[in-house]
Amino acid sequence: MLVLLTVALLTTAPAAASPQPASACSARVTTADLDAALALAESAYADADLPALEAATAHAAELLPCVDAIVSRELAARYHRVAGLQAFVEGQEDAAERAFAAARAIDPSYRFPPELVPPGNPVLDHYRAIPVDAPKTLPVPAPAEARIYFDGVETLQRPLSWPSVVQLAEDDGTVIATAWVEANGELPAYRPEGVAVAAPPSDLPATADAATDLAATPSPSPGPSAMSRKWPWVAGSAAMAVTTGALFAASRSAASTYYDPQTTGEEELSTLRSRANGLLFASAGTAAATVGLGVVAIVF
């Protein structure tokens, strides 16, 4: 049995199916039940009974996820046509054209009966708006424990230009999920072939006693915090900064004495010059060390 993870559906037309697996249905319905609901929708459209059309298409959308068999190509095309009519009535012309194209791709020879859509009706222009002779498709992964159908055909190629009735079924034909999916919509979820089912963690307690023992096991002592690891580098950087300041101040003092007019002895001037330069170079070195230790403290 395929385990469904989620069933997501993105639609723009009001005839879209509810995003639910068949197991969520209170009762399974036959494809004949769905066909009857679509016939009621067509009759309501022919009578220009818009409330009845909306109710019938909504009912068909509720039935679709609960069908107990793979829909036929003819039934899928009828569902798309009704979805297109409802979208057209609501002014969603783009959605109507995509739904109509899906129907024509399945059954290109179909013509609306004149009592349903009279000649010259603008619906006919929208019905033929999208070419269907070169459909674009996208390959999908093969299900691991099911078969996937698009508009009644088992295939791994999904339509990219218009919506489709998508179904997942077991090998014996038992339908797992059915949804009306727009061209850019999400398919009913399934596990692709070759993807293993995730096993539960092996270290979880199997019994209440084991859970109690696990809870009683002391947690390991935490390692040193990030701040405790950074502290030696921060302290070193601060010490270097203080040293740099002291050396620079001493260098400035020696330079001030050097330029003092009262300092005139050649030997004294030479000594002050050497001291000022030495202290300045030393402060530059400690300044570089300050920056280096600071960078280490940040990134360590």
pLDDT of 250 strictly over 60: yes
Residue 11 pLDDT level (bands cut at 50, 70, 90)? very low
pTM: predicted TM-score of the whole model, two decimal places: 0.61
What is the distance between the alpha carbons of residues 72 and 59, in angstroms, rounded to a whole number? 19
pLDDT digit string, tens, across residues 186-199: 999 898 987 766 55
Of residues 163, 149, 158, the one with CA closest to residue 102 = 163
Mean pLDDT value across residues 4-12 = 31
Task: Name the strands in the sheet holding 164-169, side by side, starting at the edge strand that comes first in the sequence.
Answer: 153-154, 147-150, 164-169, 175-181
* Termini Cα distance of the chain: 52
Pair of tokens at residue 86: 């409802």
Q: Enumerate long-range contacts of 118-126, CB under 8 Å, 24 or more apart.
A: 123/85, 123/88, 123/96, 126/84, 126/88, 126/93, 126/96, 126/97, 126/100
Percent of the chain with pLDDT over 90: 52
Asked whether the beta carbons of 5 and 23 are under 8 A apart, the reply is no
Q: Is the pLDDT of residue 263 over 90?
A: no
Helices (H) and strands (E) in the chain, counts: 8, 6
pLDDT digits (tens, 9 = 90+) for 89-118: 999 999 999 999 999 999 999 999 999 999
Report, as an integer, the average pLDDT of 246-250. Answer: 61
One-letter amino acid identity for 221?
A: S
For residues 185 and 277, which has the higher predicted lDDT (pLDDT)?
185
Q: What is the pLDDT of residue 155?
A: 97
pLDDT at 201: 56
Does residue 229 surpass a pLDDT of 90? Answer: no
| pLDDT confidence bin for 145, thresholds 50/70/90 | confident
User: Which is higher by pLDDT, 235 or 63?
Assistant: 63
Q: What's the whole-number mean pLDDT along residues 79-96? A: 97
pLDDT at residue 43 is higher than 80:
yes
Averaged pLDDT, 238-264: 59
Q: Which of 89, 95, 81 is nearest to 38 (CA)?
A: 81
CA dihedral 233, 236, 242, 246 (to 10 degrees): -140
Tell me whether residue 244 is exposed, middle or buried, using C-beta atoms within 10 angstroms of its C-beta: 0 to 12, 13 to 18, 19 or more. buried
What is the pLDDT at residue 81? 98
